[in-house]
Amino acid sequence: MIRIGLDIGGTGIKIGAVDESNRIIAQTSIPTRQDLPFETQVDQMADAVLGLLDPSVDPRLTMDQVESIGAGIPGLADDNGIVIFCTNMGWKNVPLRESFQRRINKPFYVDNDANVAALAESIAGVSAGTSSSVFITLGTGIGCGIMINGKIWKGFHGIGGEMGHMILELDGEPCTCGNRGCLERYCSATALIQMARRMVAGHPESLILSLAGNDPMKIVAKTVFDALREGDPFAEKLFRRYVSCLSQSIANVVNFLDPEVILLGGGVSKAGDVLLNAVREEYPKYVVYGDMPMPPIRIAALGADAGIIGAAMLS
């Protein structure tokens, strides 16, 4: 049997067939077309799934073999397969399951992309075999997927996992959500970049600026880590501040929920060991029971595949 996963993103939709060993055996993609009506979007996705089912590529790629279809969306869906909203697709209260099943009559599931990634990692990735985990995505914003007792935890009303808008600083940095001091303003790639731009405005001698071709708008998260590796003291200072904020955010999760493991994903996590080692050293300082065993921090393993694999695993 195979399962189909759709990873619905801002610029493209990736579609993959996943086998019983959680491997992607076939994959395709279509562009995200926010301009089309909902039913046409669903048609295009269904057509892409049908196009993927080519037994000449792999004998398992037939409709008979398809056990279920799942979709991960950057938005909110309920248990009936209704997408409450998904800004990237222009969806608000659309019956994704019902519409999709009119084209392909298989069990269909939809969930938030951060939840989907947490699920994928907990089955086939770096948290495989754990019963509880919190997956934090350090990207443009902060994504968060929570696994409890081996299942995605979306909250009773389906509004949980919004770690990026937990308040980390009373009356702090203004956030796009309208509040102040949201964790996302301190721990996302965007936050790191903004901190770097402010830093080079005051310290144009920082290596960060020259590595960005002397254009502050070209600074990305990687620029800061590149300058850090070169020993730039301004990058070091930024990094320390970022690690402190991230460590306090992780400690908040541990002091409150204490999952079996914490995963980091997203763009900033590509910094790898330099980030991981710093956070591992720093975060226990903020844990109440600092001398007790506490969740290890790991970097997510599945990368971009987590979206397809996790969506395929939805049930």
Q: How many other CB atoms sit within 10 Å of the CB of residue 262?
A: 22
Among 5-13, 38-46, 104-112, 177-185, the segment contacting its own copies (CB under 8 A): 177-185
Among 295, 306, 308, 312, binds its own copies (CB under 8 A): 295
- Candidate residues 260, 270, 280, 282; the one interacting with its own copies per rule CB under 8 A: 260
Among 99, 91, 96, CA closest to 74: 91
User: Contact, 286 vs 251, CB < 8 A?
Assistant: yes
User: Which span sits near its own copies by CB under 8 A: 1-9, 161-169, 190-198, 204-212?
Assistant: 161-169
Q: How far apart are CA 65 and CA 97, in angstroms?
A: 20
Query: Which residue in 24, 25, 48, 166 binds its own copies (CB under 8 A)?
Result: 166
Chosen residue from 77, 221, 254, 306 binding its own copies by CB under 8 A = 254
Q: Tell me: does residue 82 bind its own copies (CB under 8 A).
A: no
> Is 132 an interacting residue with respect to its own copies (CB under 8 A)?
yes
Pick the closer one to its own copies by CB: 95 or 160. 160
Whole-number Cα distances in Å, 207 to 4, 97, 244: 46, 51, 22
How far is residue 189's CA from residue 209's CA, in Å, rounded to a whole number? Answer: 17
Contacts of 283-286 with CB under 8 Å at 24 or more apart are 283/246, 283/247, 283/248, 283/250, 283/251, 283/254, 284/251, 285/247, 285/251, 286/247, 286/248, 286/251, 286/252, 286/255
Site string for its own copies, 209-248 (x = CB under 8 A): ------------------------------------x--x
* Site residues, its own copies (CB under 8 A): 76, 84, 131-132, 144, 146, 148-149, 153-163, 165-170, 172, 177, 179, 181, 186, 245, 248, 251-260, 285-289, 292-295
